[in-house]
C-alpha cells in the first residue's frame, strides 16, 4: 500500500487510444496500492469507478456544446482535403474547485482537447501547488493545433504558415494558439511523460517544451485479458479454417485516409498476391473496427469484416486468431493495437515510425518496414509467412509485453516518478 492520491484528467472515458491508456494506468496503479482516480469531462459509458464532470443535464449540454464547437469550428478553418486532426482550444472547463483535484497529491493530465482544458484552464492548475504530470498521447501539446505532424517542422519554431489551414500565414490561428500555450506553460510547472522515445525526442525538439523535464514511460495493457490462445481454436471462433494464414488489420475509414496509411496496406497486399511464393488461397484478411463495410477498398485476398468489437476478451481472441497484425500507420506515438497484438502473441508488421520501434523488434517479434515502402511491408508479410519458426516469434512477442509493458512494471515507474516529484516540492 502506498500513501498516495493521484487524479487522472482525460476528456473521455476510454473513447480513443488516450482514454484507454489512461484507464489502464489508473487500474495498474490501484493494483499496486496507489489511490488512483479518473476524472473525465464527458462520460460515454457507465463505469461507476470513473468520475464525470458533466453529470447534470446543464453540465452535459454545455460539454456537448464545447466538444462539438471545437470539432466543427476546427473543420471550418481547416482545408477540406486535409484529414489531420486540429484543435483550436478556444473552449474549456475549470477543474480548480473539483474535490478530487483538490484532494489529490498528484495531478496527472492525459488527453484534454475537445473543450476540456484549454491553455487558460491548464495554467490555473498552478494555483494548487501540486506536482503535475502530463502524458503526451499525441503531438498537440507542443504544436499550434495539429495532433499529427508528419513532415511539418513548424513546431520547432513558433508555428504559423500552417499547411492545414485555409488562411495560412505567419500570424495565423496556429501561431496564435502557440502563443497562448507559451503564456500558459510559463505559468505552469509540469513534468512530461512521453510514452515513446520518439515522443520524447519530439518534445526535446519543440520550441514550446524543449527544456522541460521529460521521462519516457510507456503505456500499459491488461496482460491477463490480452493473452495468447491456441491459434487453431481462436480461428474456429471466427469461423476461419485452422490452416489459413490470417492477416489482421484495424480500422480503416477509407483508402484516402492519410494518418492510417491505408493505401500502403492495399499496395502491399496486391504486390504480395502477385508473388509466386505466396499461395493466395491460403491467406485470409481480417479487419476489425470498420463502421461501414460499404466504404472500404478492394483487397486481393478473401476478407472478413468483424465490425466494431466492444469486449476486450473477444478482441483478444481475434488477435490470437491472426498470424500477423499489420499496421500501416504513418505516425503513431505508442499505438494500443500494436501492444494488444503482441500481448496475444501475434507478431506485428509495421512501418518504422513513431513509437512503434519501442515495441516491435525487427526480425524478433515482428518486422519493421522502411517508412512508406509498401514493397517492404509486403516483404515483412512474406518473411513471416515463410518463416520456419513462427512459434518462436510468437513467444517473443508475448515476452516483450510481459517484460516491458506489464501493469506492475509501468505502475512502479509512475509511482516512483510521483514520489520523486512530491519529494522535490518546496517544503
Q: Which residue has the cell 495531478?
A: 107
- What is the chain's length? 427
Q: Give CA separation, 231 vs 3, 178, 227, 235, 316, in Å.
A: 43, 49, 12, 6, 11
Partnered with residue 6 across adjacent β-strands are 36, 106
Question: Smallest Cα–Cα separation from 189: which of 101, 126, 121?
Answer: 126
Average pLDDT over residues 385-413: 97
Separation between Cα atoms, residue 244 and residue 323, nearest integer Å? 9
Partnered with residue 245 across adjacent β-strands are 283
Lowest mean pLDDT among 75-89, 202-216, 275-289: 75-89
174 three-class SS: helix
What's the confidence (pLDDT) of residue 293? Answer: 62
Beta strands in 68-204 (DSSP E): 106-109, 132-135, 191-194
Q: Domain 231-404 has what CATH class?
A: alpha beta
Name the band, by pLDDT with cuts 50, 70 and 90, for residue 255. very low
C-beta of residue 297 within 8 angstroms of C-beta of residue 270: no
For the cut 50, the answer to whether the pLDDT of residue 294 exceeds it is yes
What's the confidence (pLDDT) of residue 295? Answer: 65
Averaged pLDDT score across all residues of the chain: 93
Provide the residue ranges of all domains of the chain, joining segments of one domain with +: 5-220+406-424, 231-404
Average pLDDT over residues 144-164: 94
Name the band, by pLDDT with cuts 50, 70 and 90, for residue 67. very high
Q: Give CA separation, 322 vs 133, 134, 280, 339, 411, in Å.
A: 37, 35, 16, 14, 29
Lowest mean pLDDT among 24-28, 83-87, 101-105, 276-280: 83-87
Percent residues over pLDDT 90 in the chain: 86
Separation between Cα atoms, residue 315 and residue 20, nearest integer Å? 14
Q: For 4-15, what is each residue's pLDDT tens digit?
A: 999 999 999 977
Average pLDDT over residues 362-390: 97
What's the confidence (pLDDT) of residue 150? Answer: 85
| Strand 245-249, strand 50-52: pairing | unpaired
Q: For 93-120, what is each residue's pLDDT tens digit?
A: 999 999 999 999 999 999 999 999 999 9
What's the confidence (pLDDT) of residue 256? Answer: 45
DSSP letter, residue 256: T
Furthest C-alpha separation in the chain: 71
Within a 10 A sphere around the Cβ of 153, how many other Cβ atoms? 9
Average pLDDT over residues 353-376: 97
What's the confidence (pLDDT) of residue 14? Answer: 79
What's the confidence (pLDDT) of residue 251? Answer: 66
What's the confidence (pLDDT) of residue 314? Answer: 94
Q: Which three cell numbers stand for residue 151?
A: 513532415
Please state the pTM of the whole predicted model. Answer: 0.92
Average pLDDT over residues 115-134: 97
SS (H, E, C) 256-267: CCCCCCHHHHHH
Kindly report the CATH number that applies to the domain delimited by 5-220+406-424.
3.40.50.2000
What's the confidence (pLDDT) of residue 97? Answer: 96
| Strand 214-216, strand 191-194: pairing | parallel
Amino acid at each position: 500500500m502506498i500513501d498516495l492520491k493521484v487524479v487522472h484528467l482525460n476528456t473521455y472515458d476510454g473513447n480513443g487510444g488516450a482514454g484507454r491508456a489512461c484507464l489502464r494506468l489508473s487500474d495498474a496503479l490501484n493494483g499496486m496500492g496507489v489511490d488512483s482516480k479518473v476524472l473525465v469531462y464527458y462520460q460515454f459509458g457507465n463505469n461507476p469507478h470513473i468520475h464525470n464532470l458533466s453529470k447534470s443535464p446543464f453540465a452535459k449540454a454545455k460539454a456537448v456544446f464545447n466538444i462539438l464547437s471545437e470539432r466543427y469550428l476546427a473543420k471550418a478553418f481547416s482545408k477540406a482535403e486535409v484529414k489531420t486532426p486540429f484543435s483550436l482550444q478556444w473552449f474549456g472547463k475549470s477543474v480548480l474547485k473539483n474535490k478530487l483535484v483538490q484532494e489529490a497529491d498528484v495531478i496527472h493530465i492525459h488527453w484534454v482537447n475537445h473543450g476540456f482544458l484549454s491553455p487558460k484552464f491548464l495554467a490555473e492548475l498552478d494555483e494548487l501547488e501540486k506536482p503535475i504530470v502530463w502524458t503526451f498521447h499525441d503531438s498537440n501539446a507542443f504544436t499550434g493545433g495539429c495532433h499529427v505532424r508528419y513532415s511539418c517542422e513548424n513546431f520547432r519554431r513558433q508555428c504559423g504558415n500552417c499547411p492545414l489551414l485555409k488562411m495560412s500565414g505567419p500570424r495565423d490561428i496556429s501561431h496564435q494558439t502557440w502563443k497562448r500555450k507559451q503564456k500558459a506553460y510559463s505559468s505552469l510547472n509540469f513534468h512530461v511523460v512521453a510514452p515513446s522515445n520518439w515522443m520524447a525526442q519530439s518534445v526535446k525538439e519543440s520550441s514550446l517544451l524543449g527544456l522541460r523535464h521529460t521521462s519516457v514511460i510507456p503505456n500499459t495493457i491488461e496482460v491477463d485479458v490480452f493473452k495468447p490462445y491456441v491459434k487453431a481454436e481462436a480461428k474456429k471462433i471466427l469461423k476461419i479454417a485452422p490452416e489459413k494464414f490470417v492477416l489482421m488489420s484495424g480500422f480503416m475509414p477509407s483508402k484516402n485516409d492519410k494518418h492510417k496509411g491505408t493505401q500502403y496496406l492495399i499496395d502491399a497486399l496486391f504486390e504480395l498476391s502477385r508473388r509466386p511464393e505466396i499461395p493466395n488461397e491460403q491467406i485470409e484478411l481480417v479487419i476489425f473496427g470498420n463502421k461501414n463495410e460499404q466504404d472500404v477498398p478492394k483487397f486481393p485476398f478473401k476478407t472478413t469484416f468483424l465490425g466494431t468489437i466492444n469486449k476486450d476478451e473477444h478482441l483478444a481472441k481475434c488477435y490470437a486468431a491472426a498470424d500477423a497484425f499489420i499496421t500501416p500507420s504513418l505516425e503513431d506515438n505508442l499505438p494500443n493495437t500494436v501492444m494488444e497484438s503482441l500481448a496475444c502473441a501475434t507478431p506485428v508488421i509495421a512501418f518504422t515510425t513513431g513509437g512503434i520501434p519501442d515495441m516491435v523488434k525487427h526480425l524478433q517479434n515482428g518486422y519493421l518496414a522502411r517508412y512508406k515502402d509498401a514493397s517492404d511491408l509486403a516483404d515483412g508479410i512474406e518473411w513471416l509467412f515463410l518463416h520456419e519458426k513462427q512459434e518462436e516469434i510468437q513467444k517473443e512477442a508475448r515476452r516483450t509485453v510481459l517484460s516491458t509493458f506489464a501493469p506492475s512494471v509501468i505502475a512502479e515507474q509512475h509511482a516512483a516518478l510521483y514520489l520523486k516529484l512530491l519529494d522535490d516540492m518546496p517544503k
